[in-house]
A and B are shown apart, each in its own frame.
Chain A
Amino acid sequence: MLKIAKERLNELYAKIAESMGLFIPIKKAGEVNYHVWGEGKEVSLETLKTVKSPKNAFFPASENLMKFKTEGKNLEIIDVRWDKSEKPFVIFGVKACDYKAIEVLDKVFLADPVDTYYQSRREAFTIVTLACSKPEESCFCNAFGVDATAPKGDVTTWLDEKYLYWQPNTEKGEALTQIVADMAEQGGEAEVAAQQAATQAIMEKLPFASLDLSRFQPENLNELFDDPAWEEMSEACLGCGTCTFVCPTCQCFDIRDFKTHEGVIRYRCWDSCMYSDFTLMAHGNSRTTQMQRFRQRFMHKLVYYPSQNDGLYSCVGCGRCVNKCPQRLNIVKVIKTLGGKDND
Chain B
Amino acid sequence: MKDVEMKMLERAKALLGSGEVARVIGWKKGEFYFDPVPASFESVEELSDFVYNGFCGANLSKYLIQMSKKEGKTAIFLKPCDSYSFNQLVKEHRIVRENIHVIAIECQGKLDIEKIKAQGVSAVTEVEEDGDTVKVSSLYGETTLNKEDILLVKCATCKSKTHQAKDEEIVLHEMPESKNNRFDEVEKLEAMTETERFAFWKLQLQKCIRCNACRNVCPACSCIKCVFDNPASGIAAKANDSEFEEKLFHIIRAFHVAGRCTDCGECSRVCPQNIPLHLLNRKFIKDIDGLYGEYQAGETAEGKTPLTSYTEGDKEPNDVVDGEAK
Contacts and interface: CB of A to CB of B under 8 A. Distances in A.
Interface of A: 28-31, 33, 48, 51-52, 60-62, 134-137, 202, 205-208, 235-236, 238-242, 244-246, 254, 256, 258, 267, 269-272, 275-277, 280, 322, 324, 326-329, 332-333
Nearest to A30: B274
B238 A270 contact: yes
Nearest to A332: B31
Interface in B185-215: 203-204, 206-207, 209-213, 215
Given A48-B122, A136-B123, A236-B37, A62 B207 contact: no
B182 to A, nearest CB: 20
A298 to B, nearest CB: 15
Contact of A276 (B215, B229, B242, B270): B229
B240 A31 contact: no
A240 B238 contact: no
A134 B121 CA distance: 11
A328 B216 contact: no
Given A61-B239, A269-B239, A328-B37, 20 more contacts: A29-B206, A31-B207, A60-B241, A137-B32, A202-B139, A205-B139, A207-B31, A208-B31, A240-B212, A240-B217, A241-B212, A245-B210, A245-B211, A258-B239, A270-B210, A276-B225, A277-B230, A322-B35, A326-B217, A333-B37
A241 B231 contact: no
A308 to B, nearest CB: 26
Nearest to B31: A332
A240 B37 contact: no
A205 B125 CA distance: 11
A142 to B, nearest CB: 14
Given A256-B239, A267-B239, A31 B274 contact: yes
25 contacts: A28-B207, A29-B204, A29-B207, A134-B122, A136-B123, A137-B124, A137-B138, A207-B125, A235-B39, A236-B37, A236-B63, A238-B217, A239-B216, A240-B211, A240-B213, A241-B210, A241-B211, A241-B212, A242-B211, A242-B213, A271-B238, A324-B272, A328-B35, A333-B30, A333-B31
B203 A62 contact: no
Contacts of A240: 211-213, 215-217, 270
A275 B31 contact: no
Is chain A's binding surface mostly helix, strand, loop or mixed? loop
Contacts of A206: 123, 139
Contacts of A326: 58, 213, 216-217, 266, 269-270
B38 interface: yes
Task: Specify which of B35, B230, B241, B269 lies most central, judged by the most chain A CB atoms within 10 Å of its CB.
Answer: B35
Task: Specify which of B122, B215, B239, B269 lies most central, judged by the most chain A CB atoms within 10 Å of its CB.
Answer: B239
Contacts of B239: 61-62, 256, 258, 267, 269
Task: Specify which of A51, A134, A277, A322 lies most central, judged by the most chain B CB atoms within 10 Å of its CB.
Answer: A277
Contacts of B125: 137, 207
Task: Specify which of B36, B140, B216 lies most central, judged by the most chain A CB atoms within 10 Å of its CB.
Answer: B216
B64 to A, nearest CB: 13
Contacts of B58: 326-327
B186 to A, nearest CB: 18
A203 to B, nearest CB: 10
B120 to A, nearest CB: 11
A62 B122 contact: no
A233 to B, nearest CB: 10
B40 interface: yes
Nearest to A134: B122
A238 B40 CA distance: 14
A241 B40 CA distance: 22
B160 interface: no
A207 B32 contact: yes
A25 to B, nearest CB: 14
A31 B31 CA distance: 25
Contact of B240 (A137, A246, A254, A269): A269
B38 A137 contact: no
